[in-house]
Chain A
Amino acid sequence: MEFFDNLALGFSTALLVQNVVYCFVGVLLGTMVGVLPGIGPTATVAMLLPITFNFEPVTALIMLAGIYYGAQYGGSTTAILINLPGESSAAVTALDGHEMARQGRAGPALAAAAIGSFIAGTVATVVLAVAAPPLARVALKFGPAEYFSLVLLGLIVSIALARGSALKALAMIALGVLLGTVGQDIYTGTPRFVFDRRELYGGIDFVSVAVGMFGVAEILRNLENEQARTAIVSRVKNLWPTREDRRRIVGPILRGTGLGAGLGILPGGGHVLASFTSYAVEKRVSKRQQEFGRGAIEGVAGPESANNAAAQTSFIPLLTLGLPAHPVMALMVGAFIVHGITPGPNVITDEPALFWGLIASMWIGNVLLVVLNLPLIGLWVRMLRIPYQVLFPMIVLFAAIGTYSLGFNAYDVYAIVFFGILGYILIKCGCEPAPLLLGFVLGPLLEENLRRALIISRGDASVFLTRPISAALLALAVAALVVAALPAIRKRREIVFTEED
C-alpha cells in the first residue's frame, strides 16, 4: 500500500493553502500566456523564476509546472478562435477548431478541448504516479537512431494534416524542413541561409512562422472576401457540445490520451509529435474522413487530449532522472538547483513530499483549469463578434508585441510579415500551412538525430535497421507511405478532398 501512502503524502502537500493558491496562480498565468500569441510558457517561466527563489521549493515547482501545462491548455483558445496557434501542438487544433468557429461552433470546440484536456490530464497524472520510474528507463532506450526514425514516421504521418493533395502536403513538409535548417549548424557551427545577418544565426522563430502562416495569412484571405470580412462567424449556434458531439469525442479523447502519454515520456522531443500523430490517427480511423479540415470535432478533441497528456508525462524524465525534455523543464532544473535540490534520480527518495506533492498538484491544477476555462467559453465566443476593423489590427499588434518580447529581435517581427505574405500566396496555390509548420518544427530534430546517429556509428547507416525500435518505426513509416500512396486511396482522396475554393 506504499502507493497510497505516497499519494496521501502528495495530496497532503499539494492541498496546503499556499500550494493550492500558487497552483492556481500558475495555471491562470499559463492560460493567459497560452491565449496570448507570442509569449509562450518558456518566456513566462524564465521571467517568474527569480520570484520563486523565495518560495518553498515545492511551491515554486508547483507554480512553474502549472504555467507549463496551463499554457498547453490555453494555447488552443486562440488557435480555435482566430486561427493563431502559439505552439506547434495548437497548429493542429487550429485546423478543425477554427473551421468549427467559422461555422459558429466555437463553443463546442473550446469545450471539447477543455474536456479532452482534463481527462487526458487526469489519466496522465495517474500514469505519472504509478509508473514514472520504469517508464523513464524505457525512454532512455531511445537514442539518436530511434528519434530519427520516430520523427521520420511523424513527418510521413503528417501528410494526413492536409485536406487537399498529398503531393502538395509533401512539398510543404519539405519546404518546412528546409526553413528549419536556417541558422547555425550545431555540428560545425557553419551558418546556413543567414545572409550574413547575425540575427538569423539562431534560426527562424517558430512563433513568427506560426503567427505569419496561420494568423496573418488568414487575415489577408479574409480581407479579400467581402462576405468573410463582415462576419467571421456565420452565427453562434450552440455553446456546449451536443449529445452527438459528446458521443463523437469519447474515442478520440481516449486514443489521444494514450498516444500523448506514451510520446510525452520520450525526452528527445516526443511531446512535439503527440498532437498531430493523434490527428492523423483520428482521421485514419474516422468514418467521416471528409469532415476533417472542415470542422470535425474529433480533430480538436484528439490532438488536445494528446497534447495535454504529453505535457504531463514529459515531466517523467525530469522528475525521475533529472533530465529535461523541454526548455521549460530545463528552467525547472534551474529552479531545483536554486532551491538546493540536485535534480537527478535521487529526488524521488530524498524529497518524497516534493515529488508526490508536485504530481498531486498536477491533478489539482487540471481541476482548476476546467473550473477556470469552462465558464470563460461564453466570453471567448463573444470575442468573435468584434468587427474585423477592430479585431484584425489587434491580432496583428498583439502578435507583433508578443513575438518581439521573446528575444528583443526585430527580425522575428519582420519574419511575421514575410511568412504572412508567403502563407497567403501558398493558400492561393492550394498549399496548406499546417504540414509546412510541422516540417519546420520536426526538420531540425530529423537532421540532428540523423547526423548524430551516423556520427556515433561512424557513418554506418545500418544502425537504423539493426536497432530494433528504430527498425520497427521505419517499417511503420514505410507502411504509412504505402497507404498514403495506394492509387485506390488516392483516387478516393481526390474525389472527397477536392478544394472548393
Chain B
Amino acid sequence: MTRTSGYRAAVRMLAAIGAVALAAACSGNGGTTGGTTGTGQAGGYPDQNITFVVPFSAGGPTDTVTRMIADPMAAKLGGKIVVQNVEGAGGTVGAGEVARAKPDGYTVLMHHIGMSTAPALYQNLGYKPLEDFETVGLVTEVPMTIVARKDFPPATLQDLVTYVKANAGKVTLANAGIGAASHLCGLLFQTAAGVKLQEVPYEGTGPALTDLVGGQVDFMCDQTTNTSGQIAAGEVKAYAVTTPERVKSLPDVPTTAEAGLPDLKVSVWHGLYVPKGTPQDVVQKLSEALKAALADQKVIDQMAKLGTAPVPAENATPQAHRAKLEEQLRTWAKVIADAGVKAS
C-alpha cells in the first residue's frame, strides 16, 4: 500500500517537473513581452506573435538592446513579440534562418555591424545582405574604445602608433574572435596606422579583457559597455573613443579624430531586418514602431546605461538603414580583403 502511494507521489512529481520543462521549452530563451493580443490594427498585421531573431547569445549586448525595444515596439504594434536567440558562426546562422523565413513580417532579424562584414569574411554565406533582406531601420550605434594594459609604455594614441610601428614584432593585439567588433576595430586600427600586428583571438570579450587587465596581452579595441568600468578604475589605459563625439561616461578620453587618427571611425551599429518580399506596409509599420520605441524615455535611459543612445529618428527608417548597410559593406569588403582575413 505504501508502495503504491509512494509511486503515485513520484509520478505526480515527475509530471510537475515535466510541466515546468515544457513551459521553459515553449517560452524558449524568449519569454513573451508586452502588448495585447487580438487588437490587431486596420491592416490586419500583426494577428499573430512576431518573432525577433537575435543571432547572438542571450544576455549579450545585442540581445539586451533587442529586449529593450521589443516591449515598446509590441505596445505600438498591438501584438506580441517573442525574442529568440539563434547563435552561431558570427551571427550568420540566425541571419541565414531569417533570410529563408516567410516574408510576412512575423520573422524579424536584429543584427549588428556583422551584417556588413559577413560577405567578406564567409565564402559560403548562403545569403546576400542587400538582396535577401529588407531594411527596417537603424537602432543604435555603440562607440568603441582603444585600451591597453596599464603598464603599456605609449601615453597617447600618437605614441601608440609610433610604438607599435617600432615594435611590430613584439606587440600583441587582442580581440574577441573572428568577425567580432573588436576584431574589426583592430583591423581598422592596423589599416589606419599602416602596420601589421600579431592578433590574439579570444572566445568573447570577457576572457580577452581578463588577459588585458592581467597584462598577458598589450592592447585591444572594444565596446564602451565592456571597457568603461576598467578605464574608470585605472585597470586599463584608454587612448581614444572611435566615434566623432566623445562619450558622456568617459569625458577625458579623446576621439580618434582629436587624437590624430581621423580614419579610425567605427561603431557597433544595430539594425532590424525582414526577409526580402515582405509587404511594404508591414515594413513601414515595423519602422514606425521602432521609431516610437526609440523615442520612449525608458529605452533612452536604459541605453544611456549601456553607454549608447538611440539613433536619431531619421535614421530609424528603411532608407537610412539601407544607405548605412551599403556604405559599410563597401568599407569592410576593402578592409577585410586588404587584411587577408577569411572566416571559412
Binds A, one of B8-16, B312-320, B323-331: B8-16
Contact with B along A394-419 (1 / 0, CB 8 A): 10011001101101100000000000
B306 interfacial by beta-carbon distance below 8 Å? yes
Known: A267-B207, A379-B9, A386-B7. 7 other contacts (CB 8 A): A47-B27, A49-B64, A198-B126, A331-B58, A343-B229, A379-B10, A379-B13
Q: Is the CB of B306 within 8 A of A401?
A: no
Q: Is the CB of A456 within 8 A of B17?
A: no
Contact A458 B233, CB 8 Å, known A50-B33, A407-B87: no
A243 interfacial by beta-carbon distance below 8 Å? no
Contact with A along B37-50 (1 / 0, CB 8 A): 00000000000000
B85 interfacial by beta-carbon distance below 8 Å? yes
Contact A337 B89, CB 8 Å, known A43-B58, A390-B11, A458-B169: no
Distance of B197 from chain A, by nearest CB (Å): 11
Contact with B along A336-354 (1 / 0, CB 8 A): 0111101111110000000
Binds B, one of A124-132, A318-326, A422-430, A484-492: A318-326
List, in ascending order, chain A residues with CB within 8 A of B230's CB: 322, 344-345
User: Can you name the residue of chain B whose Cβ is closest to the Cβ of A444?
Assistant: B203
Q: Is the CB of A140 within 8 A of B24?
A: no
Distance of B190 from chain A, by nearest CB (Å): 16
Bound-state CA distance A41–B100 (Å) is 31
User: Can you name the residue of chain A whose Cβ is closest to the Cβ of B227?
Assistant: A344
- 19 example contacts (A-B, Cβ-Cβ < 8 A) are as follows A47-B27, A49-B67, A53-B302, A187-B201, A189-B343, A201-B88, A201-B93, A267-B206, A323-B206, A323-B209, A342-B249, A344-B235, A379-B10, A382-B10, A383-B10, A456-B200, A456-B217, A458-B169, A458-B198
Q: Is the CB of B210 within 8 A of A189?
A: no
Q: Is the CB of B206 within 8 A of A385?
A: no
Docked complex: B90-110 residues within 8 A CB-CB of A: 90, 92-93, 96
B28 interfacial by beta-carbon distance below 8 Å? yes
Q: Of A39, A322, A323, A327, which is within 8 A of B24 by CB?
A: A39
Bound-state CA distance A285–B193 (Å) is 58
A202 interfacial by beta-carbon distance below 8 Å? yes
Distance of B69 from chain A, by nearest CB (Å): 12
State the interface size on chain B (CB cutoff 8 A): 77
Q: Is the CB of A188 within 8 A of B178?
A: yes
Distance of B162 from chain A, by nearest CB (Å): 21
User: Can you name the residue of chain A whose Cβ is closest to the Cβ of B209?
Assistant: A323
List, in ascending order, chain A residues with CB within 8 A of B93's CB: 198-199, 201-202
A251 interfacial by beta-carbon distance below 8 Å? no
Q: Of A32, A186, A321, which is within 8 A of B235 by CB?
A: A321
Distance of A498 from chain B, by nearest CB (Å): 36
List, in ascending order, chain B residues with CB within 8 A of A50's CB: 31, 33, 67
Distance of A415 from chain B, by nearest CB (Å): 14
Bound-state CA distance A105–B98 (Å) is 51
Contact A140 B203, CB 8 Å, known A36-B21, A47-B58, A379-B10: no
User: Can you name the residue of chain B whose Cβ is closest to the Cβ of A404?
Assistant: B25
A455 interfacial by beta-carbon distance below 8 Å? yes
A291 interfacial by beta-carbon distance below 8 Å? no
Interface residues on A, range: 35 or more
A30 interfacial by beta-carbon distance below 8 Å? no
Q: Is the CB of B59 within 8 A of A331?
A: yes
Bound-state CA distance A402–B228 (Å) is 37
A45 interfacial by beta-carbon distance below 8 Å? yes
B248 interfacial by beta-carbon distance below 8 Å? no
B204 interfacial by beta-carbon distance below 8 Å? yes
A144 interfacial by beta-carbon distance below 8 Å? yes
Distance of A432 from chain B, by nearest CB (Å): 28
B177 interfacial by beta-carbon distance below 8 Å? yes
Distance of A372 from chain B, by nearest CB (Å): 14
Chain A interface SS verdict (over half): helix
List, in ascending order, chain A residues with CB within 8 A of B13's CB: 379, 383
B272 interfacial by beta-carbon distance below 8 Å? no
Seen from chain A, the residues whose Cβ lies within 8 Å of a Cβ on chain B are 32-33, 35-36, 38-39, 42-47, 49-51, 53, 140-144, 184, 186-191, 198-199, 201-202, 267-268, 317, 321-324, 327, 329-331, 333-334, 337-340, 342-347, 379, 382-383, 385-386, 390-391, 394, 397-398, 401-402, 404-405, 407-408, 448, 452, 455-456, 458
Q: Is the CB of B177 within 8 A of A140?
A: no
B36 interfacial by beta-carbon distance below 8 Å? no
Docked complex: B300-344 residues within 8 A CB-CB of A: 302, 305-306, 341-344
Distance of A442 from chain B, by nearest CB (Å): 14
The 7 lowest CB-CB distance pairs between A and B, nearest first, are A344-B229, A46-B58, A189-B343, A140-B214, A331-B59, A342-B229, A405-B25
B213 interfacial by beta-carbon distance below 8 Å? yes
Distance of B22 from chain A, by nearest CB (Å): 7
List, in ascending order, chain A residues with CB within 8 A of B343's CB: 184, 188-190
Q: Of A186, A189, A317, A405, which is within 8 A of B203 by CB?
A: A186
List, in ascending order, chain B residues with CB within 8 A of A333's CB: 206
B278 interfacial by beta-carbon distance below 8 Å? no
Q: Is the CB of A401 within 8 A of B229?
A: no
Bound-state CA distance A306–B28 (Å) is 31
Bound-state CA distance A39–B18 (Å) is 12
Distance of A401 from chain B, by nearest CB (Å): 5
Contact A199 B88, CB 8 Å, known A344-B235, A394-B14: yes
Q: Is the CB of B21 within 8 A of A398?
A: yes
List, in ascending order, chain A residues with CB within 8 A of B27's CB: 47
Bound-state CA distance A45–B341 (Å) is 35
Distance of A306 from chain B, by nearest CB (Å): 22
User: Can you name the residue of chain B whose Cβ is closest to the Cβ of A385?
Assistant: B7
B264 interfacial by beta-carbon distance below 8 Å? no
Q: For B28, B58, B59, B96, which residue has the most chain A Cβ atoms within 10 angstroms?
A: B59
Docked complex: B197-249 residues within 8 A CB-CB of A: 198, 200-204, 206-207, 209-211, 213-217, 225, 228-230, 232-233, 235, 249
List, in ascending order, chain B residues with CB within 8 A of A321's CB: 210, 213, 235
Bound-state CA distance A402–B213 (Å) is 37
Bound-state CA distance A45–B64 (Å) is 13
Bound-state CA distance A394–B14 (Å) is 8
B57 interfacial by beta-carbon distance below 8 Å? yes
Q: Of B10, B18, B200, which is within 8 A of A386 by CB?
A: B10
